[in-house]
Structure 1
Amino acid sequence: MAARFTAARQVADAVLFEGYVLYPYRASAAKNRLRWQFGVLVPPHWGAEREEHSFQRTECLMEPRSGARLSAELRFLQAQRRTVQRLGPDGAFGTVQELELPDRVLVPWDEGVEESITAVVDVAALHGAGCTIPFSRPAREETEPVYGADGEQVGRLVRRCEEIEGLLRLTATELDGPYAALRLTATVENTSTWTPDGAAADRDAALPRALVAAHLLLGIDTGSFLSLTDPPEWAKGAAAACRNQHTWPVLAGEPGRADVVLSSPIILEDHPAIAPESPGALYDALEIDEILALRTAALTDQEKREARGTDPRAAEVIDLADTMPPEVLERLHGAVRALREVTGPPGPAAPDDLTPDVPGLHPETPWWDPESDRSVDPVRDRVTVEGRSIGAGSRVRLCPGKRRTDAQDLFLHGRSAQIEAVLHDVDGGVHLAVTVEGDPGADIRREQGRFLYFQPDEVAPLEDA
């Protein structure tokens, strides 16, 4: 089963380190002072009166065969608190806020130590009380000497981990009906008895005793899991009845297989995958690799020294950006994967035939080029709004706000505008490209094709074209 987890583990690693250290990868950055946002299971006594959780509950459906065995791997980070100490002239070490070295600047930081708990159990043993696997990690402290350019010791790093305790509970119940299917329940709990008092009652004190970015890999050696996102018709009711709290299970591993589930605090689709163009872990949520690589490479030498001293993983990001070959960076500029998908009747096609079989589509023009489909015409097409036909040249009053919008749209509420084009997207939606009357830059917008866009129900006709 370890081999089957391999394909899923790449995505699981991204979950484990999502937001671990954000660009610009320095401990001094404001957004790196509030960390550990996903899958944090705190000690129950601390979390009872706060909006953080001490457990996760996963429920999913599986169809095991006779003699099937279930493999479970709980993965999480433990926050390891690092302090920096300077060696004084008297031979004693004193705690400092930073220690300057030729290649880096060392500062206090919470490092993430990878932990995993594994179990393999017979599916038949999961009925009734099921199987409970308690686990713990003892408190520990270690030191690492720090040397200067001349090879002499100038300080040390002191790393301390607090004790953590938890359990993984696995149970299974049979579903009603003719199918031999089970509902699998996997619960992860932080069972630490630590009780905060006084000034130690803040999140900073609780984190070293928490399971951070906790998630589960589940695998079955004979049989399969059912997708909760797209279950078969007979299992839709059972899938809807599954209770997942603070996590969400999806089919993982190689596409087409259904023997591995990843239960993650981040909602994913079935068979998630890392983009093949990605050069390595950049850790920054909701960003794209190209922007991060370019911004990181543009950091000053002093900023890079501080980033390298923040964390070994941050140092790897700096090195990655500094040594990335141009051809790798070029691959990050974007990939249109739909161009590789050919639709139409089955049969052999030339290797370079990437044109879908769509009525009205001119095969000599790429499908994504507006000129390829003569069934639509942004200049001549019209749409009916409030019983009136409007199109390019029509005057309208802008009235955004009927759906989620941004501040710039709200500022334009009530302004009059001219429709420049009626556009249709691939999902059948209609968008009106407009220029605002009185805008001194309207001519430039028309020349460059940079319009504002509104839905038909966000405008009101002022007059016929």
Structure 2
Amino acid sequence: MHPQTDQVRQIAQAVLYEGYLLWPYRESSLKNRHRWTIGGVHPEAYGRAHDGNHWRMRTECLVEAEPGDTVDVCVRFLHVVTREPVAGGPGRRSGEEARERELTMPGLVVDELVHGPAVTAIDLPAGRRIEPLHEPPTGPPTELPTGLPTELPAGLSTGLSTGPPTGAGGQAGMVVRSWEALRGRIEASARRLRPGLFTITVEVVNTTPWGPGTRADALRRTLASAHTVLHGPRARFVSLMDPPPELREHAEACRNEGAWPVLAGPHGDRHTVLASPIILYDHPEIAPESPGDLFDNTEIDQLLTLSVLALSDQERQEIRDGDPRARAILDRCTALAPEDLVRLHGLMRRTEPQE
């Protein structure tokens, strides 16, 4: 991504993980059993067979550009990863996580896109990653196989025993994380409306093969939580939420599917657009009092933090045995000092400019 400020990166990251896991952050809780519900670009065959499951994401907005002005396009999404403990790891749980993916198309000349689209392929192979599990030593060290590759092609066995270890001296087994291949394309084009004004369109299409199978099978081949960031070093985008009166008709003609573009970055800046599956206002911001992401940006940080602190020891252990990102939330909340909690209590902030 090529954001002008960290503010764009922070907002894009919050969008990427919105709804990833919800309180109580246990994968066994009912609300976390039906995941990857926001911003999915599903395999085309699955989307055509199941209404309401997008297989294409389309972003369309207005940009003011002079001859030679360029736009950088960045598409970001989560790639679903299956987690499976093997060779020990008592208490560790199987489940699903995600890897961040980012594909860029830098330096696209706007007036050249009028004559034909720029296309880049989405071609992410299936894979498997082997990582050690660490537990406090409970007896004489047990030697586990060494020299194993950290990444293997999908379908290749590790050859490890799945029996419990007899004492690992800090290494208590292995966990295998695997993911399916993703295929598709990103296509950027433009249409000149008048001298210096263009409609720019970015389409993301998932062409990953999919045969008969379950929703879970399709989601492992889905671009989850997908969104697009457009940045013009000199070009300036037009707000679709509050366009100038003379451009309102053009703004209303823009057609977006599965994404809503807003201006991003500092107030008054028009060089960056974030198109996400969540409807935001122009120039969204992360509250400076927030100590970190809780994957639920419409909820109150203080309420979620206090709710995490109220979890039982059994619930906390389930979180620690599951997704590392949920574990990070638990660790961050339990490490907050009293003054950090006070900062979350409430703040009145003026949102309109003072006269």
Q: TM-score, normalised by structure 1?
A: 0.67
| CA-to-aligned-CA distance 1:292-312 (integer Å, 9 cap, x gap) | 110101112221121122111
CA change 1:213–1:5 in 2 (3 A) is farther
- Which residue pairs with 2:127 in the alignment? 140
Contact 1:5 1:260 in 2 (8 A): no
1:320 & 1:307 partners in 2: Cα distance?
13
Report SS of the residue matched to 1:315: helix
- Superposed, 1:6-155 pairs within 5 Å as 6-50=6-50, 51-87=52-88, 99-100=89-90, 105-120=91-106, 121-150=108-137, 152=168, 153-155=171-173
| CA-to-aligned-CA distance 1:156-189 (integer Å, 9 cap, x gap) | 211111100121111011114xx52000011011
Pick aligned residue for 2:310 from 266, 287, 298: 298
Report SS of the residue matched to 1:165: strand
How far residue 274 of structure 1 moved from its aligned partner, in angstroms, is 0.6
Pick aligned residue for 1:206 from 211, 214, 218: 218
1:173 & 1:140 partners in 2: Cα distance?
39
Higher mean C-alpha displacement, 27-36 vs 152-161: 152-161
2:67 & 2:49 partners in 1: Cα distance?
45
Report SS of the residue matched to 2:327: helix
- Which residue pairs with 2:174 in the alignment? 156
Contact 1:25 1:310 in 2 (8 A): no
How far residue 79 of structure 1 moved from its aligned partner, in angstroms, is 0.2
How far residue 342 of structure 1 moved from its aligned partner, in angstroms, is 7.1
CA change 1:180–1:139 in 2 (3 A) is same
Report SS of the residue matched to 1:4: coil
How far residue 124 of structure 1 moved from its aligned partner, in angstroms, is 2.4
- Which residue pairs with 1:286 in the alignment? 298
Letter in 1 for 2:174: R
Contact 1:162 1:209 in 2 (8 A): yes
How far residue 336 of structure 1 moved from its aligned partner, in angstroms, is 1.2
CA change 1:330–1:322 in 2 (3 A) is same
Letter in 1 for 2:104: T
Q: TM-score, normalised by structure 2?
A: 0.87
Letter in 1 for 2:13: D
Pair member with larger Rg: 1
Report SS of the residue matched to 2:13: helix
Report SS of the residue matched to 1:65: coil
Higher mean C-alpha displacement, 165-174 vs 125-134: 125-134
Contact 2:14 2:297 in 1 (8 A): no
How far residue 154 of structure 1 moved from its aligned partner, in angstroms, is 3.5
Contact 1:168 1:188 in 2 (8 A): yes
1:264 & 1:26 partners in 2: Cα distance?
26
- Which residue pairs with 1:195 in the alignment? 210
Letter in 1 for 2:220: P
Letter in 2 for 1:186: V
- Superposed, 1:255-334 pairs within 5 Å as 255-284=267-296, 286-334=298-346
Contact 2:71 2:235 in 1 (8 A): no
How far residue 66 of structure 1 moved from its aligned partner, in angstroms, is 2.7
Letter in 1 for 2:278: I
Structure 1 unmatched ranges of 5 or more: 88-98, 345-465
Contact 2:3 2:272 in 1 (8 A): no
2:205 & 2:16 partners in 1: Cα distance?
17
Contact 1:125 1:131 in 2 (8 A): no
How far residue 285 of structure 1 moved from its aligned partner, in angstroms, is 5.0
Contact 1:173 1:182 in 2 (8 A): yes
How far residue 318 of structure 1 moved from its aligned partner, in angstroms, is 0.6
- Which residue pairs with 1:249 in the alignment? 261
Pick aligned residue for 2:251 from 216, 236, 239: 239
| CA-to-aligned-CA distance 1:12-48 (integer Å, 9 cap, x gap) | 1010000111111111111111011111011111121
Pick aligned residue for 2:191 from 173, 185, 201: 173
Letter in 1 for 2:182: I
Structure number with higher relative contact order (C-alpha < 8 Å, ≥ 6 residues apart): 2
- Which residue pairs with 1:458 in the alignment? none
Contact 2:236 2:270 in 1 (8 A): yes
Letter in 1 for 2:300: I
How far residue 281 of structure 1 moved from its aligned partner, in angstroms, is 0.7
Letter in 2 for 1:164: L
Higher mean C-alpha displacement, 71-80 vs 121-130: 121-130
Letter in 2 for 1:114: E
CA change 1:122–1:251 in 2 (3 A) is same
2:183 & 2:318 partners in 1: Cα distance?
34
Q: CA RMSD in A?
A: 1.7
Letter in 2 for 1:34: H
- Which residue pairs with 2:153 in the alignment? none
- Which residue pairs with 1:183 in the alignment? 199
1:6 & 1:154 partners in 2: Cα distance?
39
Report SS of the residue matched to 1:250: strand
Contact 1:71 1:220 in 2 (8 A): yes
Letter in 2 for 1:106: R
Report SS of the residue matched to 1:327: helix
Letter in 2 for 1:246: G
How far residue 328 of structure 1 moved from its aligned partner, in angstroms, is 1.5
Report SS of the residue matched to 2:217: helix
Contact 2:3 2:9 in 1 (8 A): no
How far residue 5 of structure 1 moved from its aligned partner, in angstroms, is 5.2
Report SS of the residue matched to 1:255: coil
CA change 1:342–1:229 in 2 (3 A) is closer
| CA-to-aligned-CA distance 1:133-156 (integer Å, 9 cap, x gap) | 112110111211224321604432
Report SS of the residue matched to 1:10: helix
